[in-house]
Amino acid sequence: MLSTQGRLLRTIMFPRAHDLQFIKQAFYFIAFMFVIATMFYIWDVVAMVRLGVPATTIVLKVRAARSGRHATLLVAAPGE
């Protein structure tokens, strides 16, 4: 029978093997969320191109999104 100090020393010197399933699933989840975000990002740019938003406005919006700042984009309806 080991003392408390002996058990502590044993757990430090010989740790149990950990199941890396949680870490693996976390990376899959992050990758999945990245794919969804990228798809919506592309969809947003395509929608702005279809609405006739000038390229400079789209670039400014993309730059603001990358830097973490929020860009307010107001698009007038065609013919106004």
Domain map (residue ranges) of the chain: 4-67
Written as six digits, the tokens of 52 are: 């006739």
User: What mean pLDDT do residues 53-75 have?
Assistant: 65
Judged by phi (left if over 0) then psi (alpha if -120 to 50, else beta), residue 56 lies in alpha
70: pLDDT strictly greater than 80: no
Of 25-34, 36-45, 52-61, 64-73, the least confident: 64-73
